[in-house]
Amino acid sequence: MVYIKSQRELDIMRQAGRLVAQILTELSQLVKPGTKLSDLDKKAEQLSVAVGGSPAFKGYMGYKYSLCTSVNEQVVHGIPSDRALKEGDIVGLDFGLLFNGLYSDSAVTVPVGQISKQATQLLRTTMQALYAAINTATPGKTLKDVGRAIEQVVNPHGYGIVREFVGHGIGTRLHEDPQIPNFEAAAPNLKLKPGMTLAFEPMINVGTADVKILDDRWTAVSVDGSLSAHYEHTIAITEDDAEVFTEWDNLYFNGILDHLES
């Protein structure tokens, strides 16, 4: 069941989304060689409370943290341990906020100092894939159209599009229907309508698309150990296009990704 949100719900999700974007921006600015993942998690929790919300992931299916931190070959759901980031790493920061009864959810992958050409290309492409999906998401288009738009950006690079994890509806719950594959799935095919609120979140590997879960039972990694990136926005379908609730104002990723054409 895909819920159409009321104007009031959309207003709250818009506020939640802006806060998520601000918090992710602040966390991204703390990313540098030596930063501990656990410190980013603590900061995420503090900021959630400071803005009058609560961290969406903490307690979700037994997850103990406010933030997911996925380094290098980690795809998603990386645990914010005491590991310190190193120059040349990339780190995915995935964060959701519950605010006045509604959720917004967003993720960025951030470079740690100078990163390789391969890593830069992967981040660029993954972000382009996200915006291609968003630009396709107008009323009357379908989830197949969204998946195809992502494939058209990613496939020419030969990267693997992760299939085990998908985007999702979002609203009064963190995960609502529909599931949103980041590729052109066979079925079902949902038509987009104004008032739908969706989290698009392509996860892209340099190598094979296959992932496995580590013994911690959370961290998903690429099976071939290749680099992986993830960007996510919460959006609403409007009367004529899509509104991004979690737009990262001035999030320039240390200057590396600042001129992305969408």
Summarize as ranges the residues that interact with Co ion (CB under 5 A).
105, 199
Identify which of residues 107 and 206 has a Cβ nearer to Co ion in the complex: 107
Identify which of residues 199 and 236 has a Cβ nearer to Co ion in the complex: 199
Identify which of residues 9 and 105 has a Cβ nearer to Co ion in the complex: 105
Q: How far is the CB of 107 from Co ion (least distance, A)?
A: 7
Identify which of residues 115 and 199 has a Cβ nearer to Co ion in the complex: 199
Q: How far is the CB of 46 from Co ion (least distance, A)?
A: 22
**Preceding amide of 178 cis, omega within 30:** yes
Q: How far is the CB of 166 from Co ion (least distance, A)?
A: 9
> What whole-number distance in Å separates Cα of residue 30 and Cα of residue 67?
14
Identify which of residues 96 and 111 has a Cβ nearer to Co ion in the complex: 96
Phi, psi of 35 (to 5 degrees): -65, 135
E strand residue ranges, the chain:
54-55, 67-71, 74-76, 90-99, 102-111, 160-161, 167-169, 176-180, 197-200, 203-205, 211-213, 220-222, 228-230, 233-237, 242-244
> What whole-number distance in Å separates Cα of residue 231 and Cα of residue 59?
23
Q: How far is the CB of 93 from Co ion (least distance, A)?
A: 12
Q: How far is the CB of 86 from Co ion (least distance, A)?
A: 27
